[in-house]
Amino acid sequence: MPRDLHAGPVATRVATLNARYRHHSATAVLEHALKDHDLGRVALVSSFGAESVVLLHLVSIIAPETPVLFVDTRMLFAETLDYQREVAEKLNLCDLRTLRANPARVAFEDPDGTLHQFNTDACCNVRKVEPLERALSEFDGWITGRKRFQGHGREAVEFFETEGDLRIKVNPLAHWDREDIAEYMVNNRLPVVVSGDFFYQAWQHGGSHLTTYAEYSRRGIVLYPSAEDIADSEMRPAGHGILLLGFDQDMTVQRIDAAGQLMVDAAGAPVMETGFFAFKNSWGTGRFGTTNPMGAGFGWISMRYIEEYMTAYVSGRPTLPRVESCNNRTDDDRDGEVDCDDSDCMSDRACMDEPTPMGTSAMPMAAIPDNNTTGASSTITVAEAGMVSSVAVTVDITHTYRGDLRLELTHGTTVTLVDRVGAGADNLQQTFTVADFNGSDATGPWVLRVVDTAGADVGTFNSWSLDITRCMGSCGGAEMTRYYENTTDASIPDDSAAGVSSDIVIGDAGTIRAMTVNVDITHAFPYDLTVRISRVGGREFTLLRQPSIDGTAVVQSFTVEGFVGEMAPGTYRLTVVDGAARDVGTLHSWSMDVTSR
């Protein structure tokens, strides 16, 4: 049973908490819920679905010993249970509790497992509501993922809510929107489980009454369903869940018609579909994706299918900055020109200076210790002196779960190249452009360390190489700090995802060594604001989100490290977004202090 609290009725405590934390962030609210003794014992209730991992990750950082309650209805997809175990292990959650229905109640109410087909409320009550209520009886509050943008009566949901006179509901993400959640998942490298409607022909499944296309089944291609497929599948409704691993927004596949033939238009041209997520399937490895390069059971599924018919929140098709990196042997912007052959690289030091002539590769062929912080290391010693203007590192690593790997390059300072990215994919063969060593002396040892951060998978550090260019002359001369500003007033649109943008154009040459962004904003309720800085055609960084500021003035300076090492010339854009209604404001001015050499 919950402990006896002396802080007043639940409703009074909730009103006090909401007043106190009205201007605070999700993290501050969560920290309060997990560490304030006045709230009593608190648990997180999680479905381990697409968005739940955000709260789980926050909890793992703030208080990993928090009880996490997961209801297993015994009707879940197998991949959901696998994903639950994987996330719990990766996040080091210390108190995961799996809740199941009383076997006697299930035997009486749902003996043949078909109750959900004709009475979903009764099924949910037996398999979910009752076990959850029993578990929550020992807590004074519980953390939920309720958010205003979900609608259905949640438009005004606050951080803290009453649950009768029993306990307090805590909603740390109440004010988050879909973009906040997607950004958090990407920035923290969290995988995504999605589940939803199953369309038989789209999956080239034998249960389809329409003709299927066997080649797509072998390749693991899942298209957006046609009207005929939707109508056919609705006669035998089914669901399915998968694990999304990545995406290719430019991948193009020819669609098929109701007769299972490749589609063409009236002029005879192929009808194509563009944009696919890479995924891991939970069945059919003997026939699904058998020729897929990622392995049997892996495939590519239509982004539009995921957006419209599965329960992951996808705020539009993902977009990536198309900027050519000038020394990684890859056509990053996909214009047919690679590295220094691309006109975008004309002023890049990697193409202006001389490359290292030889002696910059190693073949350690070293076993990578499993779940061991020491890892496997290899050293390349560079004898030729000179100031570095660009570095590219190429690695060849064999491993059965690349998501376990962390790569660190040390030359005076240590830079992390990879930190547990790639989930269950095998092996890592990649070239990394590293700007952190620009301006340093190339001479001496360069050490690459490969660490396996989790158990059960093994691999070998096969080989690696360095491509170093040295500055011709002074590498741009002495460091110089320049000041740029835009003083044009701009109104901030109320409750608009587009916000207002203001540009500063930098034409001065040099490599960025440091950057500070200064903003001058007034707003009636600054907590509504998100402020971002981007380089047009390049990367974007969030400077400020939901600030806890007394008054209406937002006059702040931000250190931006994301552009360090890049060439300075370009257009930089400040975007200010007001994410809620009824309050207005103005971007008065902003400026940049840029140190370059």
How many C-beta atoms lie closer than 10 Å to residue 428's C-beta?
21
Residues with Cβ within 8 Å of residue 561, at least 6 apart in sequence: 515
- What tokens appear for 257 in the block? 């018609």
**C-alpha dist (Å) from residue 361 to 381, 397, 407, 466:** 9, 14, 16, 6
C-alpha 190, offset from chain centre:
5
Q: Which residue ranges of the chain lie beneath pLDDT 50?
A: 1-6, 151, 178, 184, 312-322, 356-359
Q: How many Å apart are CA 390 and CA 128, to the nearest integer?
A: 57
Domain with CATH 3.40.50.620 in the chain: 10-99+138-187
Q: How many Å apart are CA 48 and CA 50, to the nearest integer?
A: 7
- pLDDT tens, 303-351? 888 877 876 433 333 333 345 666 666 665 556 677 777 776 765 655 6
Eight-class DSSP state of 149: G
Domain with CATH 2.60.120.260 in the chain: 343-470, 480-596
Pick the CATH number of 480-596 from 2.60.40.10, 3.40.1160.10, 2.60.120.260, 3.40.30.10: 2.60.120.260
Cα torsion at 129, 131, 132, 134 (round to 10°)?
A: 120
How many C-beta atoms lie closer than 10 Å to residue 4's C-beta?
7
pLDDT of 22 reads 58
- Architecture of the 343-470 domain: Sandwich (2.60)
Q: How many Å apart are CA 584 and CA 494, to the nearest integer?
A: 6
pTM for the whole structure: 0.37
Q: How many Å apart are CA 533 and CA 202, to the nearest integer?
A: 41
pLDDT of 359 reads 44
Q: How many Å apart are CA 326 and CA 217, to the nearest integer?
A: 38
- pLDDT tens, 281-308? 866 667 788 888 877 888 999 988 887 7
End-to-end CA distance of the chain: 65
Of 328, 324, 572, nearest to 434 by C-alpha is 328
C-alpha 586, offset from chain centre:
31
- pLDDT tens, 123-172? 888 998 899 999 998 888 888 877 655 545 556 677 788 887 788 888 87
pLDDT of 315 reads 31
pLDDT of 314 reads 32
Class of the domain covering 10-99+138-187? alpha beta
pLDDT of 518 reads 94
